[in-house]
Amino acid sequence: MPARDGEGLLSLVIPLYREASHFAESLKEIMRILGEVGMPYELVLIDDGSPDNTWEVIEAQCAQFAQVKAARLSRNFGKEAALAAGLEHARGDAVIVMDGDLQHPPSLIPEMVAQWRKGADVVEAVKRQRSKESVFARVNSRAFYTIFSRLTGLDLHGASDYKLMDKRVVDAWRTMDERNLFFRGMNAWLGFRREQILYDVDERAGGESGWSTLQLLRLAVTAVASFSSAPLYLLIGTGLGFFVFAVILGLQTLFRKLTGSAVDGFTTIILLLLILGCALMLGMGLIGIYVARIYEEVKRRPRYVIAEWMV
185 pLDDT above the threshold of 60:
yes
Beta bridge partners, 42, equal 11
Rounded Cα gap, residues 145 and 148, in angstroms = 5
pLDDT given at position 9: 87
Give this prediction's pTM: 0.69
Whether residue 125 contacts residue 205, with contact meaning beta carbons closer than 8 Å, is answered with: no
Question: Where is pLDDT greater, at 130 or 4?
Answer: 4
Rounded distance, CA 220 to CA 225, Å?
A: 9
- Cα(163)–Cα(126) distance, integer angstroms: 9
Distance CA 82, CA 99 (A): 11
Is 36:110 a contact under the CB 8 Å cutoff?
yes
Report CA-CA distances (Å) from 80 to 84, 120, 161, 178, 238: 6, 24, 10, 12, 33
User: Strand, helix or coil at 104?
Assistant: coil
Per-residue pLDDT, averaged over 122-128, amounts to: 83
Beta strands at 94-97 and 122-129: parallel, antiparallel or unpaired: unpaired
pLDDT tens digit sequence for 10-40: 999 999 888 888 888 888 888 888 888 888 8
Assign 164 a pLDDT band (cuts: 50, 70, 90).
Answer: very high
The per-residue pLDDT for 283 is: 73
Range in 140-154, 235-249, 279-293 with the lowest mean pLDDT:
140-154
Could you give the angle at the alpha carbon of 195 between the alpha carbons of 68 and 9, nearest 5°? 25
Q: Which residues pair with 123 in a beta bridge?
A: 164, 195
**Size of the chain, expressed as the number of residues it contains:** 311
pLDDT digits (tens, 9 = 90+) for 129-145: 655 555 555 666 666 66
Mapped onto helix, strand or coil, the DSSP state of residue 31 is helix
pLDDT above 90 covers a percentage of the chain that reads 3
CB 203 within 8 A of CB 131: yes
Q: Is 98 exposed, middle or buried (0-12, 13-18, 19+ CB in 10 A)?
A: buried
Average pLDDT taken over every residue of the chain: 76
> What is the structure's pLDDT at 135?
58
SS3 160: coil
